[in-house]
């Protein structure tokens, strides 16, 4: 019995730690020795928890299980932790033919497609019995870089560039952002080198500088299509929460960016959520609400947008990117208030 209890303890994964979040950049990219610079990946944020015997759990930012969805990643660390338990923070990404993250491919994988996925690790929150939340970022990075995954095609320790690293090669942070643009990456994350890890908090010590504007949205209904889309979805009706009142309000719609299969899948997802009345707290413009099919607001998606009008709270020039099963409906707020 003692041996069974010992074995049970070795297979017990550490407790879930809610990820720390970054704030949206409001100023130009910091060019300061107090910061380090990382690539911004285009995937699902995920916490990897590993027991002493290697038993692994992958969880989304809101603690939904990803282990069964991405089983290839569950054993990818092998013996590299040498019997130590661990909690890692990173991003699950799908890679295109050139090895670049592609959010659309990740959607296909989630729907059962065969595409290569990897876990890109950028922080370590626990290793062995050492909890590292109160250690500064630069110390956590040194610990992280001591881990050697056996298959870097499945798990990779992502690079972090100090200000000195960039200066030594004649580069500035702005130059690094240009590299991200050239490589088709999503942007940069800028992190204060002395920052502690604040679980569940959106901290100004981490700043995201995206190259494209994206936003999570609550799908609240759809309008039927016409022409080639007759009998299918023409556009999704989108909502977000007002941070002051908590009300779910209409912020626009999206009708582009869908493949035919994505429309078929969306219709299948939304059919069981059908309802007779609008879930919005405010009134939807008549031309947008005409013929609308309303749904219970339980699903989160992501769109690219060119403009957000703060007075009307409207997204302009939108395109669909995909579903976000790693996000909670209650956490989706109107742009500029996250």
Catalytic residues: 40
Q: How far apart are CA 177 and CA 173, in angstroms?
A: 6
CA 22 to chain centre: 11
Q: How far apart are CA 22 and CA 201, in angstroms?
A: 8
Exposed/middle/buried for 70, CB within 10 Å: 0-12, 13-18, 19+?
A: buried
CB 275 within 8 A of CB 296: yes
CA 97 to chain centre: 21
Instruction: Return the bridge partners of 101, or none.
Output: 95
> Which H, E and C letters describe 48-96, residue by residue?
EEECCCCCEEEEECCCCECCCCCHHHCCCCCCCCCCCCEEEEEEEEEEC
CA distances from 187 to 66, 101, 137, 216 (A): 25, 12, 20, 17
Which of 92, 119, 112 lies closest to 103, judged by CA?
92
Q: How far apart are CA 11 and CA 198, in angstroms?
A: 27
């Amino acid at each position: 019995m003692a041996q069974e209890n010992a074995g049970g303890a070795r297979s017990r994964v550490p407790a879930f730690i809610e990820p720390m979040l970054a704030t949206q950049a409001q100023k130009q990219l910091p060019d300061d020795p107090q910061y380090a610079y990382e690539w911004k990946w285009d995937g699902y944020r995920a916490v990897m928890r590993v027991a002493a015997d290697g038993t692994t759990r992958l969880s989304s930012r809101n603690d939904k299980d990803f282990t069964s969805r991405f089983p290839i990643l569950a054993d990818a660390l092998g013996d590299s932790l040498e019997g130590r338990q661990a909690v890692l923070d990173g991003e699950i990404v799908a890679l295109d033919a050139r090895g670049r993250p592609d959010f659309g491919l990740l959607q296909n994988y989630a729907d059962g497609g065969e595409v290569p996925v990897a876990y890109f690790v950028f922080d370590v929150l626990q290793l062995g019995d050492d909890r590292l939340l109160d250690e500064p970022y630069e110390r956590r990075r040194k610990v992280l870089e001591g881990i050697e995954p056996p298959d870097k095609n499945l798990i990779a320790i992502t690079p972090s560039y100090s200000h000195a690293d960039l200066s030594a090669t004649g580069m500035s942070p702005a130059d690094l952002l240009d590299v991200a643009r050239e490589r088709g990456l999503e942007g940069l994350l800028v992190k204060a080198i002395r920052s502690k890890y604040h679980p569940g908090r959106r901290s100004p010590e981490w700043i995201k500088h995206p190259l494209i504007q994206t936003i999570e949205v609550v799908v609240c209904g759809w309008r039927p299509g016409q022409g080639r889309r007759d009998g299918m979805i023409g556009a999704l009706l989108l909502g977000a929460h007002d941070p002051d009142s908590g009300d779910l309000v209409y912020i626009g719609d999206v009708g582009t960016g869908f493949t035919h299969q994505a429309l078929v899948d969306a219709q299948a997802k939304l059919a069981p959520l059908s309802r007779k009345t609008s879930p919005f707290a405010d009134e939807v413009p008549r031309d947008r609400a005409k013929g609308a099919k309303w749904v219970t607001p339980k699903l989160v998606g992501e769109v690219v947008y060119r403009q957000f009008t703060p007075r009307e709270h409207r997204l302009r020039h939108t395109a669909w990117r995909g579903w976000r099963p790693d996000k909670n409906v209650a956490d989706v707020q109107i742009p500029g208030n996250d």
